[in-house]
Amino acid sequence: MNRTLYLKLNKVSTVYEKDVFLKDVASLYSDDPAVLAKCGAIKVKTIHGDRDHRYVEDVLAVLRLISETDPAVQVTNLGETDYIIDYRRPRPARLLWQWAKTVCVCAVCFCGAAFAIMTFNNDASVTAVFQEVYGMVLGQEWQGHISVLELSYSVGLAAGILLFFNHFAVWKLNTDPTPLEVEMRLYEDNITKTLIASGGEEEPGAHVT
């Protein structure tokens, strides 16, 4: 039977146990079930700290461990050459705190966006533009009351934001990622690249035991 192991390391793997095995950080495939089970059970790292931390590792250490476990196994790496183990301490679910943080973030984003829109309207003198349009269309001076221009502008602005961000699952127009999801993914990728480029923070005694 073919003793080739196909290895695909994840770029970032979140773990909650201090003993991290190869199956926790990679996708594995082999025609030999024994090879698959043996390699999946290889311990790639033991977390010694008691705090949330990201550890930068490389595929060479994984290949060395596989070779020590079974020298006859041929490994084909299809994934990352450097990967990150994101250790999170197991803790009970705190739904109230999570909802409180979500509400706080939403409030900050709402107020910030409202302030940005109001500032833009003042800089662009949208009120003066509406006055001119009102006078040209109706032939009379704008009296300062709310007109159809303000109402349509407000409704159109809100509808445009909802359609652009496309972030409501029930009303999604397509399956494309939303701009917010794209920006979050770019942010996570930049963090990962920075950690890998800096080599991570090496802790004494943090290797496999």
**Which CATH number goes with the domain that contains 66?**
2.60.480.10
DSSP state at residue 125? T
> Containing domain of residue 45, as a range?
4-87
Same domain for 72 and 110: no
pLDDT of residue 144: 66
pLDDT of residue 79: 85
DSSP string, 136-198: HHHSS---SS--HHHHHHHHHHHHHHHHHH---GGG-SSSSPPHHHHHHHHHHHHHHHHHHHH
Identify whether 107 is part of a domain: yes
Residue 130's nearest CA partner among 119, 145, 142 is 142
Same domain for 104 and 62: no
pLDDT of residue 207: 45
Last residue of a domain, one of 45, 68, 87: 87
Cα gap 180→106, rounded to integer Å: 13
The tens digit of pLDDT for each residue in 160-204 reads: 877 777 666 566 666 677 777 888 889 888 988 888 888 755 444
Identify whether 101 is part of a domain: yes
- Tally of structural domains, the chain: 2
pLDDT of residue 204: 46
Buried b / exposed e across 46-71, counting CB within 10 Å, b at 16+? ebeeeeebbbbbebeebeebbeeeee
pLDDT of residue 120: 86
CA angle (194, 200, 203) in 5-degree steps: 165
pLDDT of residue 64: 94
Q: Is this structure's pTM higher than 0.85?
A: no
DSSP element (H, E) containing 9 = strand 4-9
Same domain for 34 and 115: no
pLDDT of residue 206: 44
Cα gap 206→209, rounded to integer Å: 8
Averaged pLDDT, groups of 10, the chain, 209 residues long: 85 92 94 92 91 91 93 90 90 86 90 88 81 77 73 85 69 69 87 81 46
